[in-house]
Structure 1
Amino acid sequence: MLLREAGIQATPQASLPIGDFARADLLVGDRLLIECDSEAHHAEPANRRADLRRDESLMALGFIVLRPDYRQVFDDPAGIVATVAAIVARGDHLSARPGV
């Protein structure tokens, strides 16, 4: 909702090329992934490590991964939107690969 209000289109639960059921919370363009993390999910260190491994795999494929936590989204929504808007303004949310 916040991104839409800022004029930024995002696709929720976009499929990812790293597994049959892998999905991103939000996809902006074709390469900016936004994963919003809850405090409960990352209370377990193993969950955090799994997300870091996933991020590495996605970055190796050319994705940009932003991983704000739940508190950040609620305490500083304007900051999150500003970060995404800056990435979009540079065109970094779009792949430079031909045919994509």
Structure 2
Amino acid sequence: MSTMKAAILIESALNQGRLSRAGLEQLLGKLPQRYRSPLSRVRSDAQSGTETAVRWWLEERCVRVRSQVQLALGIRVDLLLGTNWVIECDSRRFHDDPDQYREDRRRDLVLASRGYRVTRLTWEQVFLEWKATERMLQTMLRRRDHRRALPA
């Protein structure tokens, strides 16, 4: 199993309360250093495996990324890159419902009005079409738009 897959499983277990921090320390303590070191980056706030995969990819590229950031009243985002780029990791399970779809668009509009750029990634884009998705994300990162200041 790859380190990334292990991180996805561990973060999911932490988020769902199926694994405690003490249990994680015990688990990591049994692993060889080459696995223990990268897995020490796992977090308990990841809401999905898609979010974990994207965040780890960004961190490996030394992109400043924060998880589960509250940007406005009632608006928490999956990932915030730099100062203004929001990445939401959507799955059909939670975002295909017409009410949730409408709410997602409302939130996107609020964020855009405040100067944030919102990108929504699907499970398929991350796990089935990753090479194409990766190229596009790299192009966007190279422009460094995520480092510009938000409007006053």
Same topology, TM > 0.5: yes
Task: Give the structure, 1 or 2, with the largest relative contact order (CA under 8 Å, sep 6 or more).
Answer: 1
> For residue 141 of structure 2, what is the aligned residue in structure 1?
88
Counterpart among 112, 117, 121 of residue 64 in structure 1 = 117
Q: TM-score, normalised by structure 2?
A: 0.57
Which amino acid is 1:13 matched to? Answer: Q
Instruction: For residues 47-87 of structure 1, give each alpha carbon's deviation from its aligned partner in whole angstroms, at most 9, with x where no partner exists.
Output: 01110111011011100000011221111223333333222
Which amino acid is 2:80 matched to? Answer: L
Distance 1:97 1:36 in 2: 22
- Number of aligned positions between the proteins: 97
Q: Does 1:26 align with 2:100?
A: no
Distance 1:39 1:60 in 2: 26
Q: Mapping of 1:41-80 within 5 angstroms? A: 41-80=94-133
Are the equivalent residues in 2 in contact too, given 1:30–1:93 (CA < 8 A)? yes
Distance 2:65 2:150 in 1: 20
Cα root mean square deviation, aligned = 2.0
Counterpart among 54, 68, 71 of residue 13 in structure 1 = 68
Are the equivalent residues in 2 in contact too, given 1:8–1:85 (CA < 8 A)? no
* Structure whose CA Rg is larger: 2
Which amino acid is 1:86 matched to? Answer: T
SS at match of 1:35: strand
Structure 1 residues 74 and 13, CA gap change in structure 2 (3 angstroms): same
Q: Which runs of 5+ in 1 are unaligned?
A: none
Distance 1:79 1:10 in 2: 21
Structure 1 residues 79 and 3, CA gap change in structure 2 (3 angstroms): farther
